[in-house]
Amino acid sequence: APALEVRGLTKRYGDRTAVDDLTFSCRPGTITGFLGPNGAGKSTTLRILTGLADADHGEALVSGRRYRTLRRPAREIGVMLDARALHGGRTGIETLRLAARTVGMPRGRAEEVLAMVGLEGAAKVRVGGYSYGMRQRLGIGTALIGDPDVLVLDEPANGLDPEGIRWMRRLLRSFADAGGTVLLSSHQLREVEATVDRLVVISRGRLVREGTLADLTAVT
Ligand code: ADP
Ligand code: ADP
């Protein structure tokens, strides 16, 4: 069964249709890239999937259920929507300890995750002093804190240098190899092509193509 499922999803803002009858799904053990230009409707879709916005029509299901962020803090699903929104006044380790407490993980989980995202050296530095790439690492860390089955990441490669992108690829691959499901958005194929197993490509809120990179680049 798919771990993430979007069926006929539609969302309008006034007379602008941000997401238009969108259907796709993601299976356990796979990394799906959600690709489309800026304004295509990626963030809107991810916000509905993670319970931060409501759809006008259709469904977005996590493990077969509608996910409601506010009712049940994320444990089975790890989410990073905007690393720029991390509180600048907290240190890296404080950020992860707070995230751990929020989802009921032991305090030691923060140190563990800090090492996973390669920020041990910046544990006591305030996030306000982090580069965008460091914030992305920390944001991915907050998504991983509850040891989730599903990861939803909005533009995680943004701000990462090539080494950071290779690091992210290894991290997500081992997460997927352990049975996890990853959906990550990007507006640049180049950033994610080596990381993902499949692509869901959207434009103007609509599905354009779906399949493996080989499927999508095959000349037919
Ligand atoms: P992407 O993440 O692919 O860049 P978005 O989901 O952010 O795309 O946006 C899709 C479209 O919906 C854009 O035209 C955007 O301006 C519009 N939009 C997104 N959020 C809102 C909002 N809260 N109010 C009005 N329009 C919005
Ligand atoms: P992204 O492109 O990563 O989605 P944006 O900077 O476009 O980020 O959007 C940031 C916030 O502003 C989001 O909450 C989004 O829903 C909202 N937003 C985006 N476009 C519009 C818009 N045209 N009108 C009102 N709110 C918008």
Residue nearest to atom 18 of ligand 1 (CA): 18
Mean pLDDT, residues 181-204 taken together: 96
Whether the pLDDT of residue 96 is over 70: the answer is yes
The atom number, within ligand 2, closest to the CA of 53 reads 16
Whether ipTM exceeds 0.90? no
pLDDT at 64: 81
Q: Are strands 57-62 and 150-153 parallel, antiparallel or unpaired?
A: unpaired
Mean pLDDT, residues 92-97 taken together: 98
Partners of 212 in beta bridges: 198
- In this predicted structure, which of 10-14, 108-112, 160-164, 196-200 has the lowest mean pLDDT? 160-164
76: confidence class by pLDDT, cuts 50, 70, 90? confident
- Report which bound ligand comes closest to the CA of 82: 2
Distance from Cα 44 to the centre of ligand 2, integer Å: 9
Mean pLDDT, residues 197-216 taken together: 95
- pTM for the predicted model, two decimal places: 0.89
Question: Quick one: what percent of the chain has pLDDT higher than 90?
Answer: 84
Burial 182-207 (b: 16+ CB within 10 A, else e): bbbbbbeeebbeebbbbbbbbeebeb
Question: Quick one: what percent of the chain has pLDDT higher than 70?
Answer: 96
